[in-house]
Structure 1
Amino acid sequence: MTVSEKDLLRAKLDEVRGALLWKLDGLGEYELRRPMTPTGTNLLGLVKHTASVELDYFGRVFGRPSGIALPWLADDAEPNADMWATPDQTSAEIIALSRAAAERTAATVDALDLDAEGTVPWWTRNPVTLRQILVHVTAEYARHAGHADIVRELVDGSAGMRPGATNLPAVDDEWLTDYRQRLEAAAHEAARRSDARVRIDA
């Protein structure tokens, strides 16, 4: 059976969204919100951010607003307001927001052709197509799912790609300790051999 391009794009977006949500599983309110990097990256904030932008991309961009208020995306909102949840915003509400975003996306994808055009108010290159937005939002989710992988491991040591498929080698803690020590030694040796700084040309 041949799978359509639209179904492939939809499935990949569903997959990375699910991978990000899974990183919340089993945690309490503090662990969900705890900032684990100097810039404040936290698990619940990643879900709030991705759900919010998904609602906008598959809603307002194609003239199909969700009707869900997103004050943290307003022009006058404080910086990073979409990247963390206040104590008044429950984790259940943020997860429900993600579910609502998924439903809005499904409805828009069902209703429109991949070549259907929309306008992204905060982009300079318009119009855009549904195909472009599916790819863009999937990339956005994939980036933040990677962030969530690292944050969750920092929170409680849990790691893996998704339920039933961790994509990790079957090794014990002793092996991992030795592995990290070998990586640390390799890093020191490489630095001893060269003090050059990597520069990536744009």
Structure 2
Amino acid sequence: MSVVIDEFAKEYLHGDLREVREVMLHKLEGLGEYDIRRPLTGTGTNLLGLVKHLTLSESRYFGEVFGRPFPEPMARWDDLGQRGADMWATEHETRGEIVERYRRVWEHSDGTIEALAIDAPGHVPWWPRPDVMLFNVLVHMLTETSRHAGHADILREQLDGATGTNAQRDEAFWEARRKEIERAAKAAG
């Protein structure tokens, strides 16, 4: 029975990871170069930088952690001079290059996930409890990618008002909703 549960859990988590990866790339669609790179928070968070960051994260977690390094050169988190460089794109890096590298990392990660059992051992030296299983890394990367997809939702809404659900709702609906929320916030405050 446990093998059935293990395979179900692995496929379920992997399926959700595949979906949220696509959500990340969808947030770039229809936007120009400036808008996908533009710092929209005080810390510089931007859409293309989130994709670049997830590329590095996945390459390390599904690569090095399981002794299956991604075959292309990638930045190192332990290189203090490069710390944070994965969170934004230089003017010399193209959207196409970053998106295609992310897709190549997906293929490599998917290969690791498919080749290993959910309880396959891995080692994450930068974690306080470094000895892990594929299960731990799948949950971590699904959480990490979902977290950044939420950031991307907010950034995209700031840029052009696009949300995942507003296709059937017009500007008047959202203005009325915002006023209702503002009224409730003031009443509670």
The residue aligned with 1:81 is 85
* Corresponding position: 1:184 with 2:188: no
Whether the 8 Å contact between 1:71 and 1:77 is mirrored in structure 2 is no
The residue aligned with 1:125 is 129
The residue aligned with 2:13 is 9
Q: CA deviation at 1:108?
A: 0.4
Distance in 1 (CA, whole Å) between partners of 2:113 and 2:98 is 23
Distance in 1 (CA, whole Å) between partners of 2:38 and 2:78 is 24
Instruction: From 143, 146, 154, give the equivalent of 2:158.
Output: 154
Distance in 1 (CA, whole Å) between partners of 2:173 and 2:159 is 21
1:119-175 CA-to-partner distances (Å, cap 9, x unmatched) read 012112121000110011000000000000000011111110xxxxx3x58332112
Distance in 2 (CA, whole Å) between partners of 1:15 and 1:171 is 24
The residue aligned with 2:119 is 115
The residue aligned with 1:173 is 171
In the alignment, residue 57 of structure 1 is paired with which amino acid?
Y
* Corresponding position: 1:91 with 2:95: yes
In the alignment, residue 156 of structure 1 is paired with which amino acid?
D
Whether the 8 Å contact between 1:43 and 1:148 is mirrored in structure 2 is yes
The 5 Å alignment of 1:41-80 reads 41-71=45-75, 73-80=77-84
In the alignment, residue 176 of structure 2 is paired with which amino acid?
D
Whether the 8 Å contact between 2:75 and 2:82 is mirrored in structure 1 is no
In the alignment, residue 153 of structure 2 is paired with which amino acid?
D
Whether the 8 Å contact between 2:56 and 2:75 is mirrored in structure 1 is no
Q: CA deviation at 1:51?
A: 1.2
Q: Over aligned residues, Cα RMSD in angstroms?
A: 1.7
Whether the 8 Å contact between 2:52 and 2:88 is mirrored in structure 1 is yes
Distance in 1 (CA, whole Å) between partners of 2:138 and 2:57 is 12
Q: CA deviation at 1:44?
A: 0.1
Alignment gaps of 5+ in structure 2:
none
State the secondary structure of the residue aligned to 1:188: helix
In the alignment, residue 189 of structure 1 is paired with which amino acid?
A
State the TM-score, normalized to the length of structure 1.
Answer: 0.86
Distance in 1 (CA, whole Å) between partners of 2:170 and 2:99 is 33
How many residues get paired?
Answer: 184
Structure 1 consecutive aligned stretches of length 4 or more whose deviation exceeds 4 Å: none
State the secondary structure of the residue aligned to 1:128: strand
Alignment gaps of 5+ in structure 1:
161-165, 192-202
Distance in 2 (CA, whole Å) between partners of 1:73 and 1:27 is 29
1:64-83 CA-to-partner distances (Å, cap 9, x unmatched) read 00122122634233442110
